[in-house]
Every structure is written in C-alpha cells, then in structure tokens.
Structure 1
Amino acid sequence: MMEQSMQASGHLYIQTNEVKNFVIHYARAADGSISEVERVSTGGAGSGVYKPISGQESAPNAFEAAGSVILTADKRFLFATNGGDNSVSSFGVGENGKLTLIDVKRTGNLVTGRSGTAKSLAYLPSTGTLYVLHSFGPDHVRLMSVDADGKLKTRPEGYTVNVPGKPLRVSTMVVLSPDERFLVVGTTFDEPAKANPDGSPILWATQPDGSAKSVASNAPDPDGIIVFHVQPDGSLGEGMFQDGGGGSPFYPAFLHHRPNQFVIGYAVADGVALASLGEDGKIGTGPVVKIDTSAGLPSELCWLAVSPDDQWVFATNFGYSNISSFRIDGDVISLVHNAACPKVPGDGTFRALNGTVSSGPSDNWISPDGRHLYQIYANASKLVGYAVQPDGSLSEVTSAQIPYNSPQGLAGF
C-alpha cells in the first residue's frame, strides 16, 4: 500500500459513516485505478446503516446529503461530519495525502433520537469559518471556527431553513458561492418522508381534509432554495427563501469559470437546470431538463459533478442505480445520455421512492483533470471509478469494496 501511495497521482477520501466512523484514504493512479492506503478513525460516530430522516433500519444515503467530506483549497485540512453524534472531525493532510486526526467537536445540535443528522460542509478560509448543515433543524446551519492548526471551536450561531407551517423541513447541501459572498442551501422535503411497512419511504402526506400533498420541497411552494448573505465575521444574514425551479432542489453546484451560475439537481423534478445568482443574492432558474422517467417517478436525481471545463454535468440517479450526462453550451443545458453507464445492482433489499430495486448511488466526485468520475453505490458495497469518454459516456476502470449501506461523502485532489 505504501509503495502504491508513493506513486499516486492523486488521492480520494470517503467516510464509512459506520457507528465507529472512519475515513478511507485511497491513492489514485494516472489510469484512474484506486488502492486503499489507510483507514483513519474520525473519533466520532456515524449513523451506521440506520437512516434517520426516514426511520429505515437499513438504507443507503442515510442523511439525504451531499458534501459530508471536504478538503480546504490549500489541501492542508480535511473535514468530515459524524452524523450519528452531530460532530465534525478535522484532519491534517500530510505527505502522500495521509491523514492525521487533529480535533473532534460537537456542532451544538443535540441528538434526540437514535442518530443526529450533521451532514454537509462548506468552508470559508478568509474567516476560518466552517458551516455545518443538518438534515433536521430548527438550527439546520451551525458554525464552527477553525484555527491555523486545524483546531475546531463551536460557535453559538444557528440558522434555520424552516418556514411558517413547515417546522420539519429537510435540508440537503450547503455550498458557498465562488466569491464567498453567499451561502446557498438546498432542500428535499418539507417534512420527513414516513416509511411504509416494507421500509420504503412515503412521498405524500395526508392533509386534514383527507387530500394528499407532496412532501417534496418547492413543490409547489417556491421556497426550496435558501440564500444567506455572508457577513465579514463569517456569520450569516437573514435567509432569502427562493424558488428552486422544481421539486426537491437537492444539489446546487457552481460552475468553475462562471462564478454567478450554478446547476441544480432535482430529486423529484427528475432533471437539472442552469441557474444564476445575482449581486443581491436573488436567483433565477432556467427550465428543468428532464431525463427519461419511464422506469418510475421520481428518479431521485440528486448528486452532480461538473467537469473542470464546465462542459459536462454528471447526475447520479439514486432510484435508477446509474448516472446521466448533460452538456452545457453557453446558457443551454441538454441531456446527452440518460444512462451514461450501466446500472450497478445492489443486493436486492432496497427500494427507492419509485419502487424500483436500487443500489442507492449517492455522492460522486470528478478528478481535477476531468478524466475520471468516482461514484458510491452503498447498497452494492462498491465505490466505482469511471473514465470519462469524449461523448459524455462513462467506462468503468476501477472499483473498491466499501461498507454496506452506510458510506457517505467523497473528496479528493
């Protein structure tokens, strides 16, 4: 392992999210293949196979989340959430990408049931502020300070994505705008999805008059994306609740070369849209470009990877066990491949919201040269690496066995 890591052209990290949580460090070779270098304890607890937002005893994508493992831009530190006990771990990134645990601190949100829900991270280096998003509120966003040595300090601030009449909203991802002026939060449900007797979640809630209403956010109320002004000390201004453009605006991903534009992945609207962020924090969204949903609704298209040249968007379909590819040409985004790669089957025990048997793919990550894409298939206990082809299709080049159902988060360099 040491010899392979010495020859690595890059590194990749994933958290196991096991009850005793670890970060797995892989060395990446030039051909995209990966080999495990080490497993380093986070010092915190994950949720294990339990899925706290739906109460399922064993299911992939425990927190309906993205970005639970991140690296600082200077590659000095790696941060990982511990969703089970609502804590965050900081690591020093050393020679050959090896990790050293520096600190573990609770976010300030209490764990009131079997698991907490700390799950998504964003880091503001100018103020040393770490933003920690939780699936459940009322304080969905909590802040931490990071000192020059990577030590963490919990701050008292807390910010909600709840609105009147919706006290149980489920948020998904937190991301900073490239100019670091705004913090953008995606959402998926206006209230947690309850479970059927077979363990599958229910996407509809019964109203007092007996009618059914979707629990998906932004469907139809236009308040699914929340934008906060970032203050000089890293604290946040009042949230602006805005139209996300479609049902369940799960994943906002900023373009690399157009800092005022981002792509939104929709878990219930079954597609992606190109959006803009104005100087005043107001957003505008283009039309949702949908995938073929003949396999069932919703597709749960959630996670996005934008290629370094901003030409390709790869979208993970949780319900369909595959990845779709889209192309960006100016202000137009178009579907190229409904299935850019073959389905990866799971063990047959997990069904998505649409009832299809799924392997539960979640977080993905694209290499800085745009040549390789890595995808978690938690119900299949596999991390798969693909070579990105010129036509936007994906060819498998590597895979690694990972823990069953629990893993979350991918980051690398």
Structure 2
Amino acid sequence: MSDQRAVPTEAPHRDARHGGHLYMQTNETRNAIVHYVRSADGMLTEAERVPTGGAGSGEFKPISGQESAPNAFEGAGSVILSPDRRFLFATNGGDNSVSSFAVADDGRLTSLDYKPTGNPVTGRSGTAKSLAYAPTTGTLYVLHAFGPDHLRLMSVDNDGRLAVRLERYSVNLPDKPHRVATMVTLSPDERFTLVGTTFDQPPTANPDGSAILWVRGPDGAPKSIASNEPDPDGLAVFPVTGDGTLGAPTFHDGGGGSPFFISFLHGRPDTFVVGQAVGDGIVMGTIAPDGGIQIGPLVTIDTSAGKPSELCWLSVSPDDSKVFATNFGYSNISSYHLDGMRPTIAKDPACPRVPGDGTFRALNGTVSSGPSDSWLTPDGAYLYQIYGNAAKLVGYAVQPDGSLEEITSVGIPYNSPQGLAGV
C-alpha cells in the first residue's frame, strides 16, 4: 500500500491576485461537482458540471426524514482538495460512495474513480458526508452520519484511484448506541482524527418539519438529544497509526451543545476552533501530543432570535485573526476575533439574513434559508456561502472590522447542494 499512496508534489502555481477556483457538489440524485472560476474581484462564473458517478440524496434529508430541506446530512467537508491540489474528493451521500477527480492547472476536473464506502444503504439514502485526507499515508477518512460504522477508510494511490479498506470505527458509546456524527478532521501533524457529533440519537420531526430536540428520560423528565449536553463526551479523538489506521477513541467535552465543526488554525497546529450548533457559539481548544484535549470558554452570539442558533460551519482567516461562523437557523453569518484562547465577537451578525422561500423552519422555529458550507479565499478577501433554501451561492467581500459585503450571487439547485472547496 505504501508504494501506491498519493505522494505530494509541487502544486500548480495560482496567484490569488488572479482569482482561482471554487467547487461545490449538487447532491442531486445524479450527483455532480460544479466548478466555478473565481475572478480577482471575487465574481463567480460556472465553468463546468462534472458528474461524480454517484448519487446524492436530492432534496430529501435523511437525518430527519424531511422530503425537502437544506443541509441533508447535518455535516461538513463533503468536498475537499488534497493539500497538493492534485485531487478533489467528494462524498455521494445517496449511495454511500466517494468519487475522486484530477485537478488540472486551469482548475478543470477529470473523473478518476468511484467507490462505495462499504456501508450498505438502508432506506432511501445513505449518509456518507465528510472527508479528511492524510497525504503521508494516502488515507482518506470517510464519515457517515449514522453508525455503527461511522468512519470508513480508503487508500488513495498516486493516480488518485481509490481502494476500500476493511477498517471501520464508531463514535457510539454503550449508553448512546445511535449517535449522529457530523464532521471528521485530521490534525495538521496527521497524528489524530477528530470527529464532532450533533445528536446522541436521531431526531424526529414536528408536523411543520422542524426537529424535536427533547425526549423523555428513564425518570420521565425531558432530556436533550443534543450531544455533549449534558454529558461532556461529544468530541471523539482517534490516534492515527503509521499506516493510517486508527486506535481506540477517547471522548472529550466538546465545549458546548452539539460540537459540530472543527477547524485547526493555520499558524498554531495544536489549536482548533469548534462551532457549537446547539451551544450557539464557538470555543477554542488545544490538543496535546498524547491526544489530551483542553477546551476554552464558550463565547456565544446574540440568541434573541431564538435558541438554538445552529451555529455550525466555520471559516478561519489565513492569519488566524478571525473566524466566520454560519448560523443555519438565523440565515446569516457572525464573525469573531481570535486572540489567545478566548474569542471575542467582531460583528454579530456580519451580514444581513438571506431569506429562503418560506418553506423551511430551523430547530428554533424560525423560517430559514438553511445556510451550510462556507469557504474563505486563501488571501482572506472573499467568503462564499451556500444558502440552500434560497437556491443561491453568495459571495462576500471581507471588511477589516469582520463585516461582510455581498458582491455576487449565483443560482444553485434548490435545497440539495453541500460542500465547498477551493483554491
């Protein structure tokens, strides 16, 4: 396997002053990657749509069983680029598979491979949804929302072809046999794999389609199904061995309700930020050489519009000075200053809310456009945000004070799209 792994090579030269490229998956039942050319002034032009060969879930949301809703899999990182920018990988949640593509110097994609993850699909859709890639071992980590086999592994050879491996790992606990995982992240030194969680059991839906966050406990008292609330065990940490396989996980306090999104800082490889979907804010954390986790205080946004805000996706600025947090329930974005281990609010909100078509309600009951994945350009100048229920991808110019000025918008498929990656 080591002879066939993907070895990093010199990345094609792309000057940020001349723009770049952005990739999003449609998650339609015939899934495809949309490739946008990004101009130097932040404008987007669709260049191509390349079929993945796999199936998305379409408008159907398998997490809750809703017929049509944004954020199908309650996850992040479904489209990623290898660090050398040679390959693009994407999940196909509908049929539990992964597709790989070669990335040309001009950003165009060539399909290389398609492989099932090894998890069978039960019901209308699978839930493969998040990816992390270790170039040293050529290992791709594929996370599914539903277990028990949340994590499956694939090997990537030097030509970008995929091979399914037998290893499988769970983030379930004895008293939580049906957890819903959200995102897999690899530490910069490739020594640990971190997995965030949303729910300790799958949610059910109210008549209006919103999810129910409470169940009756053994004593008859209401109990939240949000992970890490109240049990401080919502963040799973797996040690990575020399061949990319994982050791036994340890479970840690994620810092708030539903530790959804995990992003390591660019200049501090032992430091990360976690977005709390039910905790309504962010925390900063550090990971020690032995895998020990330390979590700082939770810093929340204004929740007067209703709880939870479903603050989920994060984009960290290249200089680690700011983080932009997407509020799924509020249909907008908030920004933070990062300094030491205690973030402070920069702009809340950082942009006006983007309305949807009025058909979708978030957990707090507000009508939402369901914003999900975001991506920040390598120079920190532009942020791009999916608004699935509004059927558009919005581009913002980042202002010095952390506010966002809308500069462009392109139409995307209704409710289904997810995943953003770019150069």
Q: TM-score, normalised by structure 2?
A: 0.95
> How far apart are 1:310 and its partner, in Å?
0.1
Give the % identical residues: 70
Which residue does 1:270 correspond to in 2?
280
Which residue does 2:402 correspond to in 1?
392
Which residue does 2:29 correspond to in 1?
19
Structure 1 counterpart of 2:322, one-letter code: W
Which residue does 1:247 correspond to in 2?
257
Structure 2 counterpart of 1:399, one-letter code: S
Does residue 167 of structure 1 match 2:189? no
| 2:375–2:385 Cα contact (<8 Å) kept | yes
Which residue does 2:228 correspond to in 1?
218
> How far apart are 1:69 and its partner, in Å?
0.0
Distance in 1 (alpha carbons) for counterparts of 2:320 and 2:260: 20
Aligned pair count reads: 407
| 1:273–1:289 Cα contact (<8 Å) kept | yes
> How far apart are 1:205 and its partner, in Å?
1.3
What are the superposed Cα offsets for residues 127-178 of structure 1, whole Å, 9 maximum, x if unpaired? Answer: 1100000000001000000011111000000000000111110000001101
> How far apart are 1:97 and its partner, in Å?
0.3
| 1:8–1:27 Cα contact (<8 Å) kept | no
Distance in 2 (alpha carbons) for counterparts of 1:55 and 1:207: 23
Distance in 1 (alpha carbons) for counterparts of 2:96 and 2:340: 41
Q: Which runs of 5+ in 2 are unaligned?
A: 1-16
Of 154, 161, 169, the match for 2:164: 154
SS of residue matched to 1:49:
coil
- Following superposition of structure 1 onto structure 2, how do residues 289-304 of structure 1 map, counting pairs within 5 Å? 289-304=299-314
When the two chains are superposed, the root-mean-square deviation of aligned CA atoms in Å is: 0.9
Q: Which moved more, 1:377-386 or 1:200-209?
A: 200-209
Which residue does 2:151 correspond to in 1?
141
> How far apart are 1:332 and its partner, in Å?
2.5
> How far apart are 1:206 and its partner, in Å?
2.0
What are the superposed Cα offsets for residues 105-135 of structure 1, whole Å, 9 maximum, x if unpaired? Answer: 0000000111000000000011110000000
- Following superposition of structure 1 onto structure 2, how do residues 112-123 of structure 1 map, counting pairs within 5 Å? 112-123=122-133
> How far apart are 1:94 and its partner, in Å?
1.1
| 2:62–2:126 Cα contact (<8 Å) kept | yes
Which residue does 1:4 correspond to in 2?
none
Of 115, 118, 123, the match for 1:105: 115
Q: Which moved more, 1:93-102 or 1:315-324?
A: 93-102
Distance in 2 (alpha carbons) for counterparts of 1:46 and 1:205: 30
Does residue 57 of structure 1 match 2:67? yes
Which residue does 1:359 correspond to in 2?
369
Structure 2 counterpart of 1:272, one-letter code: I
> How far apart are 1:210 and its partner, in Å?
2.6
What are the superposed Cα offsets for residues 172-191 of structure 1, whole Å, 9 maximum, x if unpaired? Answer: 00011011110010001000
- Following superposition of structure 1 onto structure 2, how do residues 202-213 of structure 1 map, counting pairs within 5 Å? 202-213=212-223
Structure 1 counterpart of 2:123, one-letter code: G
What are the superposed Cα offsets for residues 198-255 of structure 1, whole Å, 9 maximum, x if unpaired? Answer: 2111011122433211000000111100000000000000001111111100011100
SS of residue matched to 1:258:
coil
What are the superposed Cα offsets for residues 73-127 of structure 1, whole Å, 9 maximum, x if unpaired? Answer: 1110000000000000000001310001110000000001110000000000111
Does residue 309 of structure 1 match 2:319? yes
Structure 2 counterpart of 1:280, one-letter code: D
> How far apart are 1:266 and its partner, in Å?
0.1
Q: TM-score, normalised by structure 1?
A: 0.98
Distance in 1 (alpha carbons) for counterparts of 2:414 and 2:18: 27
Structure 1 counterpart of 2:151, one-letter code: V
Does residue 66 of structure 1 match 2:57? no
Does residue 229 of structure 1 match 2:272? no
Q: Which moved more, 1:196-205 or 1:228-237?
A: 196-205
Structure 2 counterpart of 1:35, one-letter code: T
SS of residue matched to 2:106:
helix
- Divergent runs of 4+, >6 A: none
Distance in 1 (alpha carbons) for counterparts of 2:258 and 2:101: 33
> How far apart are 1:329 and its partner, in Å?
1.7
Which residue does 1:38 correspond to in 2?
48
SS of residue matched to 1:370:
coil
What are the superposed Cα offsets for residues 263-302 of structure 1, whole Å, 9 maximum, x if unpaired? Answer: 1100001000111111111111111000000000000000
Distance in 2 (alpha carbons) for counterparts of 1:44 and 1:329: 42
| 2:285–2:341 Cα contact (<8 Å) kept | no
> How far apart are 1:8 and its partner, in Å?
5.9
